[in-house]
A and B are shown apart, each in its own frame.
Chain A
């Protein structure tokens, strides 16, 4: 454990130095995360106005709160490994990392957290600006803020493990773009990214509860907004924990099988 901490500390320094080279790029890439929530918020606000002030139990200001919180939470939990892994395999840069005595996932955790830490400097003011423009409304009590912390941490772990398992398809075929697109497509609706899950048809809401996507994004947002009862929060945290466990097992199994038949490109 102490060794791992040292590894993390050293890799953090490297990641920081690497990312600070491209400061403008860091900010510009944030735009993707900023524009979409504003677009979706606008669309649903117009719908809410047209249907007498609220839609699916969300009023205009509550929608604003939902999408601003979603923007920040999504920024904190998203990963880009499904896109990066293909390049790692195809360009042969995965091979040297496999030789190191620590699992390559640790490098990605550090890289990801460093990026988040750096970009929060822009993300939080952006969220503040959006709050000033769209005037959100929250009904959060202290215990919900407390419950939000583990919900966010579990969502981060879940996203990492699921997306790593998925990225490992790259061991068998280096053409993973179509798979990624399929995953993203399902996630856009099932994670609450396009619309709060309460707006989905009832049958799809059931599906969303079973799939992991809600537990990796919408759930922490709903907790923070104070939309869930204590019982729902507890069972939600349990669902998250179960999915994290499951995803961990899947990740380990795929990794083992993948590394076994991996022959480095260029070797």
Chain B
């Protein structure tokens, strides 16, 4: 509960801060619109030459695109900014101020920095997903909807845990922002179902950088093509990564001595 309350507080502060800079909203909106054009244009072009891509119909891929934008928006709304702030704080020693606060430090560093206008990407993703649902809506029953929700939650948790572990590395390495670039460049592959990629790339997108769980698995669940085993795997992976990342974070924290002390 305290987690939700903290998230709400930080979101509100960020929103109030950003409301001073209205132009930023228009810029974010234009950028989201441009991303939409790239996404939809790409799909339109592909489906002007074929009726299905690796077994996925146009509406299925539209749903995948929606999930892709939503997770991307979520990452850059809160996860990436907070983790970048964490790395910066470790480098400058200002993490001390966070550690003295009477809340769980992991919760604090995870929600502390918000880029509020990335909300436009989350909204865009939800809208695209809505349109896709309008096309395949009849096929989506309660079971699919439930599976989708669970898969999306697991995907978000996996992505979060992955970023937290990368950011925790900054207790030992001074510059880890380059590792983030690896994630960003590979995440773009998640716009398409990972099943179409050659085996080595699919393995990398599943286990090295967990892009598959964030985008393909939820979209599969929605289209009713996800197997219970995949879903269970995603859930298990989410729980395991959350536990491991928490332990790793605490282990890292014990190594932190403050840059100024």
Contact = CB atoms under 8 A, between A and B. Distances in A.
Contacts of B54: 46
B186 A35 contact: yes
Interface of A: 24-25, 28-29, 31-32, 34-36, 38-39, 42-44, 46-47, 50-51, 55-56, 133, 175, 177-178, 181-182, 184-185, 188-189, 194-195, 199-201
Interface string B182-197: 1011101101100011
Contact of A182 (B34, B52, B179): B34
Interface stretch (B38-46, B124-132, B135-143, B147-155): B38-46
Contacts, number: 85
A32 B27 contact: no
A177 B27 contact: yes
Given A35-B189, A188-B38, A181 B30 contact: yes
B196 A199 contact: no
A90 to B, nearest CB: 14
B34 A47 contact: no
Nearest to A45: B196
B53 interface: yes
Contacts of A182: 30, 34
Given A42-B197, A133-B198, A178-B30, A199 B188 contact: no
B50 interface: yes
A46 B196 contact: yes
Contacts of A38: 189, 197, 201
Contact of B46 (A43, A185, A188, A189): A43
B181 interface: yes
B2 interface: no
A177 B48 CA distance: 31
